[in-house]
């Protein structure tokens, strides 16, 4: 028996961040942009609430619906994520992976995979923008009604209309069903070490290039040369980020039904628009 639909409309409410910009009276126009941290300048965090609107509305609810008054309706879920403008970041001479790393380790991991994805088509790399879904959650009692799918379908249009954001791809990384200690692949270890080198250089240490030229890599279980690290990175790009048995099959099925595909066994799901 088909489940009775309790809501036949949704309301989407964007929760806006508070933004403060410091302007010096004697500064050149837009100098304040150069003073911003790259992650604050380029990455746009998005938070939206999802409300269900009943099939039958009385006059008061009808007025609230058309007037945008979400307080009269059930909050049934939420979506959070980041807009990552690869094109803009690269044009400004920044590294998208480093910019995302400043926001969070999870976002850095996603950006490193996305960069590999874009580099398979170099013409795409310099005209690409991505929206990464951090979380899309429909409350349990409202699931299996198509609400999550409808939000995914409308997301590019919502971002474009409300935020002026045009995206080429949407991505989502499903967490494993079992939390266990992560065993890093040589690829991931090499990336972590190179990030440490860059941070050391930023804080006045030896240059990353000089450090990478050293034969001994202290944090790895054995000694690797720079050439060895580069070789590992190339050979390990397709290493799954967690075992197949820990995949959330229901979640993978939901996103795949909505047009997302896993990239190179990385567990990252991507949909091109």
pLDDT for 61 equals: 92
Alpha carbon 208 to its chain centroid, in Å, reads 27
User: What superfamily would CATH give domain 7-181+239-272?
Assistant: Gcn5-related N-acetyltransferase (GNAT) (3.40.630.30)
- The helix (H) or strand (E) run that includes residue 83 is strand 74-84
For residue 188, pLDDT beyond 80? no
Torsion, CA 220, CA 223, CA 226, CA 227, rounded to 10: -110
Residue with tokens 């044009």: 91
pTM as predicted:
0.75
Better-predicted residue by pLDDT, 211 or 136: 136
* pLDDT value, residue 207: 57
Q: Using alpha carbons, select from 74, 197, 219 the residue that is nearest to residue 147.
A: 74
Do strands 130-138 and 169-172 pair parallel, antiparallel, or not at all (unpaired)?
parallel
Q: Where are the domains of the chain?
A: 7-181+239-272, 186-235
């Amino acid at each position: 028996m088909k489940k009775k639909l309790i809501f036949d409309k949704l309301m989407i409410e964007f929760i806006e961040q508070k933004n403060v910009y410091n302007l010096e009276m004697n500064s050149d126009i837009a100098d304040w942009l150069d003073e911003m941290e790259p992650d604050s300048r380029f990455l746009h965090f998005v938070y939206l609430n999802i409300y269900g609107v009943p099939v039958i509305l009385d006059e008061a609810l009808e007025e609230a619906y058309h007037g945008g008054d979400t307080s009269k309706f059930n909050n049934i879920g939420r979506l959070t994520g980041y807009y990552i403008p690869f094109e803009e970041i690269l044009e400004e001479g920044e590294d998208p992976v480093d910019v995302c790393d400043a926001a969070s380790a999870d976002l850095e991991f996603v950006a490193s995979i996305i960069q590999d994805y874009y580099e398979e088509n170099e013409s795409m790399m310099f005209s690409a923008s991505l929206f990464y879904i951090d979380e899309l959650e429909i409350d349990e009692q409202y699931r299996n009604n198509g609400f999550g799918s409808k939000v995914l379908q409308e997301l590019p249009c919502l971002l474009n209309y409300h935020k002026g954001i045009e995206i080429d791809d949407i991505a989502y990384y499903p967490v494993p069903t079992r939390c266990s200690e992560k065993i890093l692949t040589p690829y991931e270890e090499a990336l972590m070490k190179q990030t440490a080198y860059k941070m050391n250089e930023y804080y006045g240490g030896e240059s990353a290039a000089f450090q990478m030229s050293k034969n001994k890599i202290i944090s790895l279980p054995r000694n690797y040369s720079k050439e060895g690290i580069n070789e590992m990175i190339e050979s390990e790009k397709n290493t799954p980020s967690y075992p197949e048995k820990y995949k959330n099959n229901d979640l993978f099925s939901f996103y795949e039904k909505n047009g997302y595909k896993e990239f190179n066994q990385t567990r990252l799901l991507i949909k091109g628009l």
